[in-house]
Amino acid sequence: MSLSAPQSSTGTRLPFVTYVLAAGVFLMGTTEFIVAGILPEIAEDLAVSVSDAGLMITVFAVGMIVGTPAMAALTLRLPRKVTLTLALLVFAVGHVIVAMTSILPVILAARFMTALATGAFWAVAAVVGAQAAGPSLASKALGIVLGGGMLANVVGVPLGAFAGQTIGWRGPFWALAVLAVLGALIIFRQVPADPEDAPTPSLRAELRALLDGRVWLVLAGCAVVCGSSLAVYSFISPLLTDNSGLAASAVPLVLAGYGVGAFIGSNFGGSLGARRPFAVLFFSATATFLVLAGLLLFSHNAAMTIVLVVLLGLFGMSTNPVLIGMAVRYAEKAPTLASAMATASFNFGTAVGSWIAGMTLATSLGASGPVAVGTIVAVLYFIPLALLLRRERADLRRHS
């Protein structure tokens, strides 16, 4: 599949396709974490524990880990608009299955299938968005595209949680299925055809691009950042109701606050990261650790918890566009698989973090367990960042 953009931005203006891709990512971001806001309702309806219902998040993340690089390789020679359109249609089918069954294994299988489609979409969307914008605006474009996922946390996830509590948890899944079909039609019309003179994609070249050690340090950072912040976010509902004493009806509002923080963080992180990537990475890593530590100490204070959850979204998600932008830049000649691996790494961190966090719910830590896990994992973030900075400085000295 060719990823050479037939159009690119000029000056400081991003191409329209950037916002079209962001809309698709909005749907994908909504489905990944909508479960977090309605876990108790799902568990009650399916007659399973909250931690078992939380497997809907873990399985989705595992599907993204496996599916993103695999689907990127399998669809490499497909026209990009075809890949994006098919991904949305498979996404819709998966949601229909979830909405129609009460059998947990079937639901988990459908979530896995949906994750494969999401992985295919995200891998292609990230590279198309970056290349359409051009090198100088790639990080900013990725901030907008990934901002669709952050906007999902502002609008999609809270609205889905509210709807799930009001009309039943299956309602949001039906809505997402319908929106995905509409999105497929828009994507097919708006994403331009691949240029006829584009070079033939090579899986060998894509794999060779992964030999750069800097790519793997970026991937490690991707895994750790999501393993810390999203381990907490996955189980935010029991934290808010059990520890902070908030009513279940208040959970969507707090999720919206998190989403506002994440949306702002993603956009500002993408813009600032284009000029000073390491400053953004180290500052956000430090701030995320401090926020999680504060949440661990003050989660029984409702007001403090709400503020800290918003800050977690602001700082915890601000590095994502910077990291993906770095992966694409380091693998410049064959960025598709690097972008896919970055997305897979984010979800590897989410899967491992949410799995470990889910197990702590049954311990004496209770709803504070996921926060403890996230705080410990956040410390690890500084290891790949320090090694990457050291490698960058060494490369600059060699070329100076």
Query: Is residue 72 situated within a structural domain?
Result: yes
pLDDT of residue 151: 77
Tokens matching residue 387: 């090694």
Query: Is residue 80 situated within a structural domain?
Result: yes
Distance CA 153, CA 156 (A): 6
Distance CA 217, CA 385 (A): 7
Domain count, the chain: 1
Contacts of 69 (CB under 8 A, 6+ apart): 119, 123, 337, 340, 341, 344
Single pTM value for the model: 0.70
CB 344 within 8 A of CB 294: no
Residue 79 φ/ψ, nearest 5 degrees: -60, 140
Distance CA 370, CA 357 (A): 4
Distance CA 121, CA 91 (A): 10
Query: Is residue 9 situated within a structural domain?
Result: no
Give the orientation angle of helix 157-167 with respect to helix 16-37, to 10 degrees. 40
pLDDT of residue 6: 40
* 76-105: b (≥16 Cβ within 10 Å) or e: bebebbbbbbbbbbbbbebbbbbbeeeebe
Distance CA 18, CA 128 (A): 8
Query: Is residue 11 situated within a structural domain?
Result: no
Query: Is residue 7 situated within a structural domain?
Result: no
pLDDT of residue 387: 92
3-state secondary structure 241-271: HHHCCCCHHHHHHHHHHHHHHHHHHHHHHHH
Query: Is residue 247 situated within a structural domain?
Result: yes
Contacts of 75 (CB under 8 A, 6+ apart): 1, 83, 120, 124
Note down pLDDT in tens along the chain; length 400 residues. 333 334 444 456 777 778 888 888 888 888 877 887 788 888 888 988 888 888 898 888 788 888 878 887 787 777 878 888 999 999 999 999 999 999 999 999 999 999 989 888 887 887 777 767 766 676 677 777 877 777 776 778 778 888 888 888 899 999 999 999 998 988 888 777 766 655 566 667 777 777 788 889 999 999 998 889 888 888 888 899 988 888 888 888 888 888 888 888 877 887 787 778 889 899 999 999 999 999 999 989 999 999 999 999 899 888 888 888 888 778 776 667 777 788 788 878 888 888 888 888 888 888 889 999 999 999 999 999 999 989 888 877 776 6
Q: How far is CA 272 from CA 27, 146, 171, 318, 345, in A?
A: 26, 15, 39, 10, 23
pLDDT of residue 198: 59
CATH number of domain containing 302: 1.20.1250.20
pLDDT of residue 376: 93
Distance CA 4, CA 195 (A): 8
pLDDT of residue 144: 78
Task: Provide the residue range defining the domain that includes 88.
Answer: 16-195+202-399
Query: Is residue 8 situated within a structural domain?
Result: no
Query: Is residue 2 situated within a structural domain?
Result: no
